[in-house]
Amino acid sequence: MESTNWILQLLGRLHPLLVHFPVGLLVVAFFLELLTLKGKKTGLREGITWMIYIGAISAALSALFGWFLKTQEAYTGDLVDNHQYTGIATAVLAIITALMLKSSLKKETLNLKLYRFTLTLTVVLLSIAGHLGANLTHGEDYLTAVLPGNKVEYNDEESGALLTELNGAAELTELQQDKLSLKVRGLFAHKCYQCHSDNKQKGGLVLEHKEGVFKGGETGPAVVAGKPEESEIYKRIVLPANDKKVMPTKGKLLTAQEIALVKLWIKEGAHWSDQAVKVFPEAALALTKPELPKVPKETHPLDKLVDTYFRAKAITWETPVNDRVFIKRAYMDIVGLLPSPEVIDAFLEDTNTEKRSLLIDNLLNDKEGYTQHWLSFWNDLLRNDYSGTGFITRGRFQITGWLYNALKSNKSYDQMVSQLMNPDKASEGFIKGIKWRGVVNSSQRTEMQAAQNIGQSLMGVNVKCASCHNSFVSNLTLDQAYGFASIFAKEPLELNRCDKPIGKIAKVNFLYPELGSVEGETLKERLLKLSEVMTNKANGRLYRTIANRIWERLIGRGIIEPVDEMDNTPWNADVLDWLAADFIDSGTDLKHLIKRIMTSKAYQLPTVNYKTEDALKKDYVFKGPVLRRLSAEQFSDAISQVIAPVYVAVAYNPNEEKMPAKRIWHHQKDLTNTVLPLPGKRYFRKTFQLKKDAIKDASVLISVDDSYKLYINEMPVGEGHNWTEVGKYDVTQLLTKGNNTIAVEGTNEGKIGNPASILFAMRIQHKDGQIENLYSDETWKSTAHTPKGNWMRFNYDTKRWKKVKNYGNRNWAKLLDFTFKSHEKTFARASLVKQHAFLKALGRPNREIVVSKREEQATLLQALELTNGAFFNGILKQGAEQWLHTYGHDTEVLVDTLYQKLLGRHPSSDEQKILIGALGREPSTAQVQDVFWSLLISPEFQFIN
Amino acid sequence: MKDNNKTINSRRDFIKKMTAASIAASATTIPVASFLSSCSPEVKKMAASADSVILLWMAGGMAHTETFDPKKYAPFEKGLETNSVLSTFPKHPTAVDGLEFSEGLQSIGGVMDKGAIIRSYKAADLGFILHTRHQFHWHTCYEPPQSVQAPHIGAWIAKELGPANPVIPPFIAIGQRFTMGEAEELKAFHSAGFLGSEYGPFLIPDPSEGLDSVRPPEGMSLKRFEARYKLYKELSNKSEVMAQASDYQRESLMRSMEQSYRLLNSPEAKVFDLSQEPKEKYDTYNTGRFGLGCLLAKRLAQSGGRFISVSTEYEPFLGWDTHANGHTRVKQMKALIDKPVAQLIKDLDESGHLDRTLVILASEFSRDAIMEGRPGEEVRDQARRQPDKIEHIRHYGMHRHFTDGGSILMWGGGIKKGLVYGKTADERPCVSIEKPVVIDQVHQSVYHALGIDSQTHYNVESRPFYTTPDGKGKPILDLFGKEMKSTKNNNA
């Protein structure tokens, strides 16, 4: 602190008194000056002159004394600075004004105009300086606080209620002591942390933790237990607002009730609760099933609750959607596919009153369909993908197999969570995170990723902030985040604040310690405990979070939003709690949860147009579901169903027939390095011997990127131009006992190097039942030079040919059709496909981090992909050819069938007319393709109504 | 010199060309994702000295001692000590007195009087060196991994400034394919991250095929293309669902389809067509895909491109990623970049666009013959069989990753002409010894040139995410200004 001088200090304290002189004198002088305008009331001149002189001198003195006050008594802050600058400027201007006046009096009105101008300026500045000074003394909101609408935000009702409760008690119970302690610490957080926290220790005082509070600051102990009057904190908060020692110096003072609470707390011994202080609103952890209101006209429990909500909001029930809309919703929401026209017609004709519920059951029983649709939701949520960062350095593991089976067998949610928390090899990918080589920011170590992801995905709480420093947006602390992350570490982690170690070792802990201990000697032990703690039924948060997520999926808007922030207020707590409690009662059966929502009238209401984003996000009132855009997977699968297969190869194949065939090509080198194959023709050979000639059956599978001509023993077998179409050939007649030769002329298309490969498999069944297999692998040979002579001959000289290169399967997925089994050719569900440009453009995220909500906005890049993307247009073309082949003879049937298949309805006569006009009587492939496009891009198809 | 209002003018054009519905959408800049709150109100627009950026990306780690900061030349001979090799090329003078470049870069040297060189770049210390991790850091200013998806600098610029020409995507990335090793790691930062894919890169792996990405699908005549769009509009207008969709859903769908239609149908699509260039010019640029990429970048910058990157392309062990045969490969790389880069600067200068286009040439880190990492922080050696004594030409070159020194070139967009900023040591280790520059400064300098405030941020999952970490990046103001008065002697 600066040294203080009592004289200066005294003068400084005279500043607030002195400032009234210039304020009064100069302002009055200004008004009198106005009266003298246009040469009137000239008699005022002398008085004005003296006012200006005295005003200017007192302004200068005020500024000087103000400066004393500031330096002697350690005022700081923007407000003080601004007051100082404007004050000094006022003083200077006042003196200039006075000087001008003096000179204008001598030279007679010459400088009068200039003087009047500076006087005006002085008064304006004076008002500003005066206002800032008043703000300093009385608080910045002194004036504005009394304006209507600017009432104190902080909820004082709560303080009042607590005070009443505690004052009424003869002796405080432990629970009441805790409550009081937390309340007071909450006050500290809101009112004092800004200057008295670990981050900023004004006066050496830290109020963030017990040690700091009881240690006190430079002026002595802040709290003397039992003696409020001796406690510095209490002494300072009760000071009058204009006392310069009053606390807090920034923001509003404490209310009388708040002061009373602090006093009571100190008087009662300043008990310090071990619980973490809850500064931010936090949802209760526990879950109790709300009593259902008596609403006889509604049978569904959710509808009883919604009905009560509707009545309170004066909303009337709309008529539920018709069967056509319902069946599309149900299909899209459970299996992610379009219902076929036959299914729709049958459903419409069905007179069973329970048919909607039955349909939901049937769809939920379609295990593969359900799994392959909901897989995408879980992949997003659990950050699981088939390709992406980390895999290349084995720093990341898939959980696809485990997840697929969990959904298919409808594992309970409890079981899923347990197996994710305490995993075996199949499910460990989730908590293992993504490990990058090299040094990683400590808030991104894999253990912390586990804490963050569990927090976000399963518990709806943001651990990301707290993994770097105490959170500014929730109650989580750095200690808690590291305690949580330490569960997954070999040994407890050292805390890092903003990536700097702070020399403190974390205490293993769960975010909500009241659920139980997660401490244990070994990692396994801790994970086991975590799995138990997480699925402890007292952890209502786990169940509310998933119930809210599923509701959001089906309705388009969560009961709480954003769905990752479960401390936010729900639009109706009873709906959420009942749904979560009912989910627990069902044995945490996810299908039950889905069915519960879908059978409600609330789900079956027509979609509501919320007009603006705010109406949907901030000021939301539930009136019914929201229109949802098809996901990338739903869009792609629908096209596969109706137009032509979008994907025929998968990254994860649940029915895999494992064959060791490799994707090979001519080894392209640049100096010593392998590079992408250059465009052009390459020649491949494989020779082999057959010991027997009694061949019963021999067949070949081949897929080549980009095209091939296949020969066996110099005989042409077949050719192909699309790697996704598997060539299947019977070659029984072509093989002979002894020497055999496979020859492939392959072509890589394009202008620059790009992936190319041959995938080949041959199965030979001998009459004696023995089976021989032959696959593409590194024993094949290739050349880039056009061979001379008959290169397909067995004995052809291949001395200068090279060993082929296995190019791996990074650029190709597993072909569904690459199998010797008779196989009904179908399409691959987009959820099983490796991330692909088309899906990405449509909004499938890269799953490097948890994605709980996809982008809903249409984007230019997406529109470009749909408008001129070669991939999409290729599929449309293929589909158009197929459709023409089937319906080409009858445009009307074509249009009607297309509408039924894509939109689940017949076209209106208008639409029929437009489309027949576009197609003509004898449509071309191009015309059909363009009609497909127009319908697929149309909002009716792109949105789930 | 173009006026500072160019941005505003083109924005106005942008709005003029759009429908009423899309005006509302673009005016409110609808947050792309639900968790994204609007930009902080404190952010103020500053005076910009550039409207567009071209990033010439030397992928794989370009050794500064072999290119723009040559040291003592050690000619190849058998038995040469590896430790004695600092540069494997002789030096040549440039247009700036006292500034010398390595042999093979004389053309670029010839345009250095129009730009500046930073000779004191220091890449971050990320431990084990993985190219894509350093590239991620260079392009996003954030070290991977991050708990939210960090946007590419091009996406930030696209988001903050929008397209300079309404039909040219504001972020275009030329030259990188995503098919070889570490493709996924490359994709991770070729992304708009949390800003939303609207601002993501428009990828053109092969510049000679750039036109294909902005014209109607192959085999579709313009007439058919227009008829198809008309049919879609006609059917959509009849649709009941459209009435039901929220205004912002409807708008985003209609707007995106319309923009795409307009782009594919616009005369500006010709910008992507390299065959429009005179043959002579085309040939000057055509040293390969990178050279043609420069030509495309030139055309885009002249017609309202906003952020354009041209990469020599990262593929492990190729391009600048010289783990062996360093000398031979660097010679090839210089031949690839020298003429087109110099021509790009000349052409932009001649057409007057260089004043408002900031061109940057940079790499994720440098290389050294001996040192892997940096002094005091050496990491696992990744060179291929590098003996202490050089017996074969393939051992001759900079085969190890070096992070403690490096060069960045900048031209135009308010950058001082003829400036040499910073310095590296003349003896091994050739570390940055004067005015070291880190990536945060580079990014903030770019934002500074474009008039994007350093405090620009979005709240993602309730946390502020700034253009540079914690909004702390500081621009290097010394880079900006009028011509260097002391060009003659500043590198004495």
Q: How far is CA A904 from the centre of its chain?
A: 33
A247 and A104 in a common domain = no
A72 and A171 in a common domain = no
Burial class (CB in 10 A: 0-12, 13-18, 19+), A396: buried
Say whether B260 and A866 touch across the interface (CB within 8 A): yes
φ and ψ at residue A134, rounded to 5 degrees? -65, -40
Whole-number average pLDDT of chain A: 89
How many angstroms away from the CA of B216 is the closest CA of chain A? 5
In chain B, what residues touch A810 (CB-CB under 8 Å)? Answer: 179, 183
User: For B237-249, how does the pLDDT look when each residue is reduced to its tens digit (9 = 90+)?
Assistant: 877 766 666 677 7
Q: Is B252 on the interface with A (CB under 8 A)?
A: yes
SS3 B132: helix
Nearest to B47 by CA among B413, B429, B348, B419: B413
Mutation for testing the A interface, residue in B197, B204, B238, B328 having most A CBs under 10 Å: B197
Average pLDDT, integer, range A929-936: 95
Given A127, A146, A165, which residue is the final one in a domain? A146
Strands A727-730 and A695-705, sheet pairing: antiparallel
Closest by Cβ to A436, choosing from B144, B196, B252:
B144
How many angstroms away from the CA of A291 is the closest CA of chain B? 33
Element (H, E) at A703: strand A695-705
Element (H, E) at B366: strand B366-368
User: For A652-708, how does the pLDDT look when each residue is reduced to its tens digit (9 = 90+)?
Assistant: 998 887 899 999 999 998 877 888 999 999 999 999 999 877 899 999 999 999 999
A785 and A670 in a common domain = yes
ipTM (interface pTM): 0.86
Q: Which pLDDT does position B31 carry in this prediction?
A: 32
Q: Rounded CA gap, A896 and A914, in Å?
A: 12
SS3 B464: strand
Q: Is A150 on the interface with B (CB under 8 A)?
A: no
- Of chain A residues 658-717, which have a CB less than 8 A from chain B? 670-673, 675-676
pLDDT tops 60 at residue B2? no
User: B64 is written with which tokens?
Assistant: 């500064």
Say whether B32 and A444 touch across the interface (CB within 8 A): no
Average pLDDT, integer, range A146-167: 63
Question: Which band of pLDDT confidence, cut at 50, 70 and 90, is reported for residue B202?
Answer: very high
Q: Is A617 on the interface with B (CB under 8 A)?
A: yes
A136 and A77 in a common domain = yes
Q: Rounded CA gap, A269 and A205, in Å?
A: 20
How many angstroms away from the CA of A912 is the closest CA of chain B? 10
Question: Which band of pLDDT confidence, cut at 50, 70 and 90, is reported for residue A200?
Answer: low
SS3 A122: helix
User: A687 is written with which tokens?
Assistant: 């020779």
One-letter amino acid at B79 equals G
Q: What range defines the domain where residue A220 resides? A: 156-267
SS3 B54: strand
A175 and A230 in a common domain = yes
In chain B, what residues touch A840 (CB-CB under 8 Å)? Answer: 197
Nearest to A646 by CA among A381, A398, A337, A931: A337
- Of chain A residues 851-880, which have a CB less than 8 A from chain B? 853, 855-864, 866-870, 873
Q: Rounded CA gap, A454 and A931, in Å?
A: 46
Q: Is residue A482 part of a domain?
A: yes
In chain A, what residues touch B325 (CB-CB under 8 Å)? Answer: 671-672
CB B443 within 8 Å of CB B451: no
Q: How far is CA A194 from the centre of its chain?
A: 29
Angle value at C-alpha A163, between A244 and A223, nearest 5 degrees? 45
A91 and A199 in a common domain = no
A49 and A121 in a common domain = yes
Whole-number average pLDDT of chain B: 86
Say whether A626 and B246 touch across the interface (CB within 8 A): yes
| Side-chain-facing half-sphere of A413: CA atoms under 13 Å | 26
One-letter amino acid at A432 equals K
CB B349 within 8 Å of CB B302: no
pLDDT tops 90 at residue A872? yes
How many angstroms away from the CA of A73 is the closest CA of chain B? 32
Could you tell me the sign of the dihedral formed by the alpha carbons of A712, A715, A718, A720, in that order?
positive
User: B141 is written with which tokens?
Assistant: 């200013």
Q: Is residue A387 part of a domain?
A: no
Give every CB contact of residue B223 below 8 A, 6+ residues apart in sequence: none
Nearest to B282 by CA among B295, B270, B301, B267: B295
DSSP string, A621-676: ---S-B-EEPPHHHHHHHHHHHT--S--EESS-TT--------EE---EETTEE-P
Q: Rounded CA gap, B350 and B294, in Å?
A: 16
Q: Which pLDDT does position A68 carry in this prediction?
A: 84
- Of chain B residues 4-33, which have a CB less than 8 A from chain A? 30-33
CB A431 within 8 Å of CB A421: yes
Question: Which band of pLDDT confidence, cut at 50, 70 and 90, is reported for residue A171?
Answer: confident
Q: Which pLDDT does position A366 carry in this prediction?
A: 97
| Smallest CA–CA distance from A868 into chain B, residue | B217
What is the share, in percent, of chain A residues with pLDDT greater than 90? 57
Domain B6-479 classification at class level? alpha beta
How many CB atoms are closer than 10 A to CB A349?
Answer: 9
Closest by Cβ to B179, choosing from A673, A676, A841:
A676
Q: Is B249 on the interface with A (CB under 8 A)?
A: yes
In chain A, what residues touch B129 (CB-CB under 8 Å)? Answer: 438
Q: How many domains does chain A have?
A: 4
Strands A664-665 and A771-775, sheet pairing: unpaired
**Least confident residue range of A451-460, A473-482, A677-686, A725-734:** A473-482
Q: Which pLDDT does position A674 carry in this prediction?
A: 86
User: A417 is written with which tokens?
Assistant: 């969570």
User: A825 is written with which tokens?
Assistant: 């050719």
How many angstroms away from the CA of A941 is the closest CA of chain B? 9
One-letter amino acid at A340 equals S
Q: Is B169 on the interface with A (CB under 8 A)?
A: yes
CB A705 within 8 Å of CB A756: yes
Question: Which band of pLDDT confidence, cut at 50, 70 and 90, is reported for residue B346?
Answer: very high
Radius of gyration of chain A (CA): 39
pLDDT tops 90 at residue B162? yes
How many angstroms away from the CA of A473 is the closest CA of chain B? 7
Average pLDDT, integer, range A191-208: 76
A186 and A122 in a common domain = no
Q: Is A943 on the interface with B (CB under 8 A)?
A: yes
Closest by Cβ to B317, choosing from A611, A673, A914:
A673
A179 and A120 in a common domain = no
How many angstroms away from the CA of B489 is the closest CA of chain A? 42
User: A486 is written with which tokens?
Assistant: 């330490």
Question: Which band of pLDDT confidence, cut at 50, 70 and 90, is reported for residue A142?
Answer: low
CATH number at residue A757: 2.60.120.260
Average pLDDT, integer, range A280-285: 86
The b/e string for A15-50 (b: 16+ C-beta within 10 A; e otherwise) is: bbebbebbbebbbebbebbeebeeeeeeeeeeebee
Q: Rounded CA gap, A643 and A640, in Å?
A: 6
Q: Is residue A376 part of a domain?
A: no
Domain ranges of chain B: 6-479
Say whether A438 and B126 touch across the interface (CB within 8 A): yes
Strands B357-362 and B408-411, sheet pairing: antiparallel
Q: Which pLDDT does position A74 carry in this prediction?
A: 59
**Least confident residue range of A545-559, A720-734, B365-379:** B365-379
A129 and A55 in a common domain = yes
Q: Is A945 on the interface with B (CB under 8 A)?
A: yes
How many beta-carbon contacts under 8 Å exist across A and B?
256
Closest by Cβ to A675, choosing from B130, B246, B315:
B315
DSSP state of A204: G
Closest by Cβ to A939, choosing from B179, B197, B242:
B242
User: A118 is written with which tokens?
Assistant: 């500076």
Give every CB contact of residue A662 below 8 A, 6+ residues apart in sequence: A759, A775, A776, A777, A778, A806
Question: Which band of pLDDT confidence, cut at 50, 70 and 90, is reported for residue B8?
Answer: very low
Average pLDDT, integer, range A789-803: 94
